[in-house]
Amino acid sequence: MDIKNKRIWVTGASSGIGEAVAKELAAQGANLILSARNEAQLEALRASLPNAESHIVVAIDLSKSEDIADIVAPVLKDIGRLDVLVNNGGISQRGLARDTLLDVQRQVMEVNYFGTVAMTQAVLPSMLENGGGMIVTVSSVAGKVGGQSMSGYSASKHAILGYMNCLRAEEALNGIKVLNICPGFVQTNISVNAMLADGQQYGKVAGSIANGIDVQTCAVKMVNAIRQEKDEVVIGKGISYWAPTIYRFFPGLFRRLSSSKNFRE
């Protein structure tokens, strides 16, 4: 796919991976719809992009999935055609499964799973009417394997991969492409904004995230995957890149490694 002049909706565009992807897509000539909750940050990003006037800011709270269709419908009416949706907005969670409040598990699922499903279902009919489109979703390596201290996050990322793989199977013959992105650790504020077992903010950059790949490298690889119309890509380095491959071919070894003290942060 040639990115130039494509209409692309990016959620979670106010920070981290979404912001970097938006910059990369705009540099390649896309016309963007930028969404997240922080409208001021989205507006500052829009104003800084090439062809600023061709991009739109639309505030969306993914935790309020019941509102999403009503927010998306008038935008689609205005723009006429959406080529790509990048489902990137999300939150993380840190804490042992045995300690993590059910409400925290539910909040992670509301944003990462139901919010993403609601966004997808809000744009899909219009893509089908227009003969096709691409749904890109930022899951995680944590959506491919289980590790310690992230049961809610990992469950939400496994769940969204399951949904998207079914959607691909159902809509492939109708021109809908489904690309799942599974990053390992990427240097963003994801852990700063993560919820602890009791719902409080973690509030700092975790060591694993600080040692991850830089966000620009991640964004370039994501945009390449969109251009190449791939089905799924893992992006990262070190153990967070190799984990799905180790799990696939050596599941017993992976389970021993992931249960060891070295993998509890």
Ligand X SMILES: NC(=O)c1ccc[n+]([C@@H]2O[C@H](COP(=O)([O-])OP(=O)(O)OC[C@H]3O[C@@H](n4cnc5c(N)ncnc54)[C@H](OP(=O)(O)O)[C@@H]3O)[C@@H](O)[C@H]2O)c1
Q: Minimum distance between the CB of residue 216 and ligand X, rounded to whole angstroms?
A: 12
Nearer to ligand X, 183 or 244 (CB): 183
Residue 34 in the binding site for ligand X (CB under 6 A): no
Active-site annotation holds for 247:
no
Identify whether the C-beta of residue 9 lies closer than 8 Å to the C-beta of residue 35.
yes
For residue 56, CA distances in Å to 9, 13, 141 come to 9, 12, 31
> Of these, 28, 37, 165, 230, which contacts ligand X (CB under 6 A)?
37
Within 207-246, the residues that bind ligand X by CB under 6 A are 209, 212
Distance CA 20, CA 26 (A): 10
Binding mask 111-150 for ligand X (x = CB under 6 A): x--------------------------x-x----------
Residue 131 or 181 having the CB closest to ligand X: 181
Task: For ligand X, give the closer residue by CB, 128 or 233.
Answer: 233
User: Where in 170-189 is the site for ligand X (CB under 6 A)?
Assistant: 183, 185-186, 188-189
d(CA 227, CA 222): 9
Query: Does residue 32 belong to the site contacting ligand X (CB under 6 A)?
Result: no
Write down the catalytic residue from 113, 153, 241, 247.
153
Task: State residue 34 phi and psi, 5-degree precision.
Answer: -105, 120
> What stretches of the chain show up as alpha helix (H) in DSSP?
16-27, 39-48, 65-79, 102-109, 116-129, 151-171, 207-210, 215-227, 238-249, 251-258
Nearer to ligand X by C-beta: 167 or 209?
A: 209
Distances (CA, A) of 255 to 141, 149, 179, 249, 265: 15, 15, 27, 12, 17
Binding mask 54-73 for ligand X (x = CB under 6 A): ------xxxx----------
Residue 3 in contact with residue 52, Cβ under 8 Å?
no
Q: Which residues bind ligand X (CB under 6 A)?
A: 12-18, 36-38, 60-63, 88-92, 111, 138, 140, 183, 185-186, 188-190, 193, 209, 212
Catalytic residues: 153
